[in-house]
């Protein structure tokens, strides 16, 4: 009953003569009834998108009441009566108060269902977020426990993992020639650019920053030791970046040098400060000769 009365009052802000309509409704309901309806919490259940539909219902009901139109009392479906002050759209007008009230109730139920669905969704999102945080904590503990004392090599083959191992062979950035007066990048490693790379723990590793740094390194150009260190420091910086699933690492590189004391000092004091020596000691002389012929002049 309260919903029925509230429906009649909704038209107040859409009519030109509010005082006249208010007096008319009050003559039907009495002052206490009007106050009770205006203060009733059912008003908070009306969603803004329902307002237009409710206004159409109100026009029909109030006009029926003002003009004593038999359509309201007899449940007639003809909404084209010339006695109506306002003609609602034929396909939207209720044929009776009962039908109008049922539509209002249906809309109220729809709103309640929507609120319940939103609450369930928020609860599901909160649970998923909590599960994700727990998973990240577990991954971080595994990462911290599994990384060796010294930083491991940054990049491994993710597609060639051996049985029982999370990673395949390490992937170097390229091959360097070490000499007493400078260091030359002879070739970059094509595999380093192909993706499918993982870290020590077998988790996907994003080496995009290292790829950009490698592309800026002049190929086949002997750099002074100072120039080498400037470029090599960028790879150390990238390797020092840590996340919840990835710890500090160092990039590996292959190398060649003639075996003498001067070159050994360059290798120990400079080269190994920035790069790990990779899977092999040094490349063979045959491999070095092949690379040297391909170096741009």
What is d(CA 47, CA 45) in angstroms, rounded to the nearest whole number?
A: 6
Question: In the chain, how many domains are there?
Answer: 2
Picking from 83, 114, 145, the residue at the C-terminal end of a domain is 114
pLDDT confidence of residue 87: 47
- Which pLDDT belongs to residue 46? 54
Q: What is the pTM of this model?
A: 0.51
Q: Do 67 and 174 share a structural domain?
A: no
Asked whether residue 150 is assigned to any structural domain, the reply reads no
Is 264 domain-assigned? yes
pLDDT given at position 190: 95
Tell me the mean pLDDT per 10 residues along the chain, length 297: 46 47 55 55 54 64 60 47 44 64 77 82 76 62 54 87 75 95 95 92 92 96 96 97 87 94 95 84 85 73
* Closest C-alpha among 256, 139, 254 to residue 199: 139
Give the pLDDT confidence score for residue 210 in this predicted structure.
Answer: 97
Q: Is residue 107 part of a domain?
A: yes
Residue 283: give the domain boundaries: 156-294
The predicted structure's pLDDT at residue 81 = 42
Contacts of 295 (CB under 8 A, 6+ apart): 184, 186, 187, 219, 220
- State residue 102's pLDDT score: 76
Q: Are residues 75 and 186 in the same domain?
A: no
Q: What's the pLDDT at 186?
A: 95
């Amino acid at each position: 009953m309260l919903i029925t009365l509230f429906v009649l009052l909704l038209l107040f802000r859409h009519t030109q003569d509010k005082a006249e309509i208010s007096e008319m409704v009050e003559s039907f309901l009495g002052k206490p009834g009007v106050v009770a309806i205006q203060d009733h919490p059912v008003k908070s259940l009306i969603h803004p998108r329902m307002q237009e539909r409710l206004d159409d219902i109100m026009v029909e009901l109030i006009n029926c009441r003002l003009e004593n139109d038999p359509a309201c009392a007899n449940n007639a479906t003809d909404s084209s009566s010339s006695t109506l002050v306002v003609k609602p759209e034929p396909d939207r007008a209720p044929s009776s108060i009962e039908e109008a009230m049922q539509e209002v109730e249906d809309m109220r139920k729809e709103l309640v269902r929507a609120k319940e669905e939103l609450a369930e969704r928020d609860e599901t999102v909160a649970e998923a977020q909590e599960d994700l945080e727990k998973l990240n904590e577990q991954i971080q503990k595994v990462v911290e426990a599994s990384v060796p004392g010294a930083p491991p090599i940054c990049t491994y083959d993710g597609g060639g993992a051996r049985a029982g191992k999370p990673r395949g062979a390490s992937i170097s950035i390229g091959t360097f020639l070490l000499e007493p007066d400078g260091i030359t990048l002879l070739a970059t490693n094509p595999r380093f650019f192909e993706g499918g790379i993982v870290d020590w723990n077998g988790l996907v590793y994003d080496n995009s920053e290292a790829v950009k740094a490698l592309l800026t390194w002049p190929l086949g150009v002997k750099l002074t030791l100072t120039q080498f260190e400037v470029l090599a420091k960028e790879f150390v910086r990238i390797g020092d970046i840590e996340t919840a699933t990835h710890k500090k690492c160092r990039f590996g590189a292959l190398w060649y040098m003639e075996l003498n004391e001067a070159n050994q000092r360059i290798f120990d004091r400079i080269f190994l400060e920035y790069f790990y020596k990779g899977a092999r000691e040094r490349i063979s002389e045959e491999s070095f000769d092949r690379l040297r012929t391909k170096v741009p002049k």
